[in-house]
């Protein structure tokens, strides 16, 4: 099955945006790309900690 990227809009505090912008410059990548990486890392960490149940688990 073809996986299609989804678009998400978020509102960030100025300090978080500044950090994200700085991180993007260091990586020489777009802010949106680095934001996507940060979200993926946060989700992976949540799964590892058991905070986010597996996708096949029913969530109430």
- pLDDT tens digits for 26-57? 999 999 999 999 999 999 999 999 999 888 88
For residue 29, the enclosing domain spans: 14-48
Q: What is the pTM (predicted TM-score) of this model?
A: 0.80
Higher-scoring residue by pLDDT: 18, 60:
18
Residue 37 counted as domain residue:
yes
How many structural domains does the chain have?
A: 1
> Could you tell me the CA-to-CA distances from 57 to 45, 52, 53, 54, 60 in Å, in that order?
18, 10, 6, 5, 10
Separation of alpha carbons 8 and 38, rounded Å: 13
What sign results for the dihedral spanned by CA atoms 5, 47, 57, 8? negative
Residue 21 counted as domain residue:
yes
């Amino acid at each position: 099955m073809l996986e299609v990227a989804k678009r998400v809009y978020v509102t960030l505090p100025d300090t978080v945006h500044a950090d994200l912008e700085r991180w993007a410059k260091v990586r020489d990548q777009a802010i949106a790309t680095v934001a996507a990486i940060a979200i993926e890392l946060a989700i992976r960490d949540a799964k590892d900690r058991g905070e986010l149940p597996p996708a096949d688990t029913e969530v109430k």
